[in-house]
Each structure stands twice: as structure tokens, then as C-alpha cells.
Chain A
Amino acid sequence: MLKYAEKIKETALKLFNENRVDTFIGYKKGSVPMMNEPVLVTDPDKVDQLYWDSFCGLNLCNYLTKRTDKIGIVANGCNSRNIVTHIIENQIKREQIYIVGIPCEGMIDHRAVMRAVKYKEILNVQENGDKFLVKGADFEETFEKEKFLQGNCATCTHRNPVIYDEILGDPVEEQTGVDPFKDVKKIEEMDPAKKQAFFTRLISRCIRCYACRNSCPLCYCPTCFVDESTPQWVGKSSDPTDTMTFHFLRAYHCAGRCTDCGACERVCPMGISMRQFTKKLNKDCQDLFSWEAGLTLDQRPPLDVYKPDDYNDFIK
């Protein structure tokens, strides 16, 4: 994935020089290992800070919402699908953005790497093709990237951007035969009491920092329901009922829109696997409406359209 870093710089510079963009959104290399920081480049002289590796697991589409300038943006598969959703939902105009596509080979799960080195402090990570070298004060280990992919990347079937103005490499082969819903199926088999217990445990560590919500490109409501005060829908304490309400409602707001980009899980300081909620709704959308979010500009998500020939009775 490192190979794209140089290409991104060149492309950004070209776009600035050709006056195609006012700003460029990408990543810069982080100040700590396995972290990169989203950056807005406004000055062609500063394109050199742009960077790309297998730790770009946030969703840059989050930074596009309601912008008014002409923007260049890097996008891999899932990010591009969110850009599609953003365009459909009128959060940005297609003609405002120049999408620099990146065929993605998946992002590395930084937590899995920490586990693999038994939580010893990692001082440096170097990527080299399909392997990466992890260095600490008194150790060095090489790992195969494939075994350390983020959960969403391991089962991703849309690694190539679905929409772009330019693509920085040959498309990668899409994965087949992967089942993104294995864990969801397990939960579906539980009885209600077990499900309740499972979810209660899942969110028990939540500190209501809202990093999941705020990293999500779908969560652009001017005022989130948890922040409303008149009426106040949800309590603000760490009471499990309120926390559960937050997670469930947020997941439902994402139904039919979520691209399983994994940003929510990546940013969670408490390591909560909230994709267990969103993936169930993704699965339902696939089962009920044969729908995957963000693949086309021509169709709105199933839960915000009305069709006279809907097969459900309630709508007639």
C-alpha cells in the first residue's frame, strides 16, 4: 500500500497546478506507530505531507460533509461507497469532488498487532509488500499482513473504488467466498435473553465518548438525537439502558447506508465491536432488498424510498 503514497503526492500536486481543486483531503503520517492523521492540504507546497499505508482505516468522507470548495480526496473501496452515499444524500455535490481512487488491499488491525507482540510497546512498523516488520525496544517481528486485516477488510468484497475520477493503480482482485455475516448469524441463533446478555456485555465498556458516531460519515445530523434536550430522548449518564439506546438507535439510523468501513470500531478507545449492530442491519438489507450501500448513484437506499409496488402490505 506504501506505493500509493508517492502517487497521491504527485496527483495532488497535479490537481493543484491544473487548478482542478482548492483543497485536497488525504492522510499524513502519524506521530505514533500505526496511526495516521487526516489532513487538509490547501497549499500545493505542502503536498509532501500526504501519505498512505495500511493504517488509513478512518473514513475521509466524514470530512466532506457540506463543504463548499472544490476538493480532491483519496478514496479506497469503502470510502468511495460513502462518497456515493454522501452525494445521494445531498451532503456534497459530485462535481465538487475529484476522487483519487485507490485499489485497496485492506487495512491492518492495530489492536491485533499489539496482541501479537503481547502488548509490548511498539516503536516502529514498516510495511513491505504483503509483510510488515514491527519493532520495539527489545524485539523485532515480521508478520503477514493478510493475517492481521481489520475484521471488515478481511471480508470486504468491494476493495476497488466504485466511483473515481482517476485511479492510482490497477484494480485488485475482489475477494470471493468470504462471509461477512458469520458472527451475525451466530447472534441471530441466540434466544432473546441470550441476545440481550450478549449486547449488554458488548457495550458494557462504553464511555459515551461518541467517537464511533463522530467518525462515521453517515452521522452528519446537525443535532444527534442523544444531544437533543427538549425533549431529551436519552439520559446522559453511563446507565446501560441509555448506552444501549444510543447504540441501537445509531445502528438503525445507519441501516441501508452503512458500508462497513470499520471506522467506528477502529476509533473506539474501549475496543467495542459495534459493527455487530450495523452488520446485522447490512445483512437484513441484503436479505430483504438485495441491497448493498453506496454502489450506485442511481438508486436511493431502500429505507428512504417509496415504491408503489412494494411487496409489504403496510405501505399500501
Chain B
Amino acid sequence: MTDKIFSKEEWLGGLEALRKTYGVFVPVKDGDFHTFMPFDKGNIPDFDYQNSRLSPKSVVYPQSERLFEYTLDKADSEADIVKESPKDYSPRAVVGIRPCDVQAFQIVKRNFDNPEYRDPWWVQHFESTTLVGLGCNEPCSTCFCTEVGGGPFNQEGLDVLIFDMGETYLLRGLTDKGEALLGKITGGSPADDQALKNAEDLAASASKKITSSIPTDKLKEKVTNDLFNAPFWEEIAFACLNCGTCTFLCPTCWCFDIQDEVLGKEGDRIRNWDSCMFPLFTLHGSGHNPRDNKFQRVRQRFMHKLKYYVDKYDNGVQCSGCGRCVRYCPVNIDIREVCNLMNNY
């Protein structure tokens, strides 16, 4: 573990240099909000931000991704045979990612990289990515990472953790991947004991700023069907528009659809983010839909995150407390309130 201090200019210069060996993704101010974009001439990083509107999950798991390609041209001896699309797995770094979004990758990993099947695209994108997290000095009032196993300076899953010390950044290499990245940045000086103590104080004071109390302790012991048949779902779901805002903004929502698209005689098999909020998600070919009603879809989203995932992996909830769905749900359905209802039911 290396702790190094950089002046902010030095660090920015280092990041520029890093672009020679990494595709560097940084938060960029984009109108009213921030988006993770490749660091290049047009995209200037802005680390003075709370969090990006869309989670950086798309760096590893793009909203639309070509999986396979094929030709339908019968003159071709390989016609109709589906083949893997070439992929670029050269090293990438997500710089400035918040610890909650890193924790989200750990949550999602249990799905994409499990003992029986490894999703080749997710796994290889993930393995080629170095996560350089930026601790949250000022967590939002809607954040609740500390309630779901994380924290504003949580190191789990990070390769490097950045402490914003005001004038300087303190960078902590946490893994081989992280040390390798830091090794490519010149300058900086070793952090002395006082700097390390200041960093710890910063982290401690940030944790205290999170005021939401969202107990999840009783979810595991609940009987699935009791929660499933609980009386509150219709009421929770009334306002829901069944749009995909919560699922698409969520760093831990992983569901996808696979579609074939053809132009002329050339075609692609693509995967797109999908949402359990959409009726089409579960519609059978016969016309039967096991989740035909809005409340069933809303129930599925919360049950998946707060009960099914808990039961399946025995490793906490499928939520990293980033608060995006709380802030951006167009009709203000608040997962914190739903979690309390479920935990206390």
C-alpha cells in the first residue's frame, strides 16, 4: 500500500500522461450534471462534483453492446453463423468514481461472474479496468452507503483511493492494479503521518454526515412469500410511471435484453440494458405476462434488491446506497422508505 501526496495540478498532469497507457474515464460536467466520459481534448475532468447522473456502470457494461456479428449473404460460406465481435480490452481507468459505485461493481460481479457461468464481456471489461475512487467529503442527504455495507471512503473493490485534502490529493494504492497505475504517474511525495491522520479524519467526518437510517438487518429472516404478499405494494406502486429511470441510473441494476439487428445482409446480436419496470420484460410469446400489473413490476424491483438478492448470495442487499433513484425518480418513490417497510414488516 502506497500513500502519496500530489498537488492538484500535478495530479491532473499525471492523468494526462496516463492517457498513453490507459483509456481514462473521468467525470465531465455535461449541462446540469456530470457524466463519465473519456478524458480527451473536449472532455475536461471536474472532480468537484457529488456524483454522476448516470452511474459509471456503462464503462464496463454499456447500454448497448454488440456481442456477435454475422452475414446473411448466402454466397458467403459462413452465412448465418454467429461469431464473436472483436473487442478492445486494452487497459482502462475510471478516475473519480465514487466508492458506492465501486461497491456496486462488487455487487454486480456476483451475477456476471458466478461459479457456473462467466459473462465474457462483463468479466473482461471489468478485469481490464482500474478503479481509481474518489472519497466523498460531502455525501448527499440522500446517500446511505454506510447503511448497506459501504461508506464515503470505503476501500473495498477500489484499486486506488483518492482523498481530496483541499490543496492536495492523497492517493492510496490498494491493489497491484492500483499500484501499477500510480507507478505511471511521476511526481508526488510520500504522505507523512500527519497527512495520513488528516485523511483518516476526513473519512471519519464524512461518514458522520450520512444521516439516513435504513436498517436491512431483518430482511434475510423474512419469509419471501410474506413480503411478496404484503399489503403495501399497491400503495407504493401507485405513483410509479413504470419508466426505466431508476433501473437505468442504478449502478447495481444489471438486467439486459438481447436483440438481433440487421442492415442489408450484415447483422449484429446486441445486448441492451432492460428494465423490470417495462411490461415487455416478462411478456410470454403466448401473450401471458406473469407481471402484467404495475404493482407486480414495482414489487419485483424492490424484492429483487432487498430480498431475492439477499437470499441468493447471503452478502447484503443489491443496493450500494448511491441515492440516484431517490433523487431522480420522477414521482419520488423512495427506496429508503420501501426498505424500512420491508425490514419492519
User: Residues on A close to B: CB < 8 A?
Assistant: 30-32, 35-40, 58, 62-63, 111, 114-115, 119, 121, 123, 137, 205, 207-211, 213-215, 227, 229, 235-239, 266-267, 269-271
Contacts and interface: CB of A to CB of B under 8 A. Distances in A.
A39 B327 CA distance: 18
B43 interface: no
B2 interface: no
23 contacts: A31-B334, A31-B336, A32-B142, A32-B332, A36-B332, A40-B238, A63-B238, A114-B32, A121-B50, A123-B141, A205-B31, A209-B248, A210-B243, A210-B278, A215-B330, A227-B278, A227-B280, A235-B259, A236-B259, A237-B64, A237-B270, A237-B272, A238-B64
Contacts of B332: 30-32, 35-37
A18 B25 CA distance: 61
A296 B53 CA distance: 41
B140 A121 contact: yes
A137 B137 CA distance: 13
Given A32-B142, A38-B238, A207 B330 contact: no
B82 interface: no
B54 interface: yes
Contacts of B241: 62, 211, 214-215, 267
A211 B275 CA distance: 12
Contact of A211 (B245, B327, B337): B245
Contacts of A215: 241, 243, 330
Contacts of A213: 243
B31 A271 contact: yes
Given A31-B326, A267-B241, A267-B330, 4 more contacts: A37-B332, A215-B243, A237-B259, A267-B245
Contacts of A271: 31-33
A24 to B, nearest CB: 12
A228 B5 CA distance: 56
B89 interface: no
Interface residues of B, number: 43
Contacts, number: 104
B63 interface: yes
Nearest to A209: B244
Nearest to B63: A238
B239 interface: yes
Contacts of B275: 209
Contact of A207 (B54, B327, B331, B334): B54
Contacts of A119: 32, 50
A207 B249 CA distance: 9
Interface in B9-65: 30-33, 50, 53-54, 63-64
A207 B238 contact: no
A280 B337 CA distance: 41
Contact of A238 (B141, B142, B249, B272): B272
Contacts of A35: 332
B94 interface: no
A205, A214, A266 — most chain B CB neighbours (10 Å): A214
Contacts of B278: 210, 227
A36 B272 CA distance: 31
B328 interface: yes
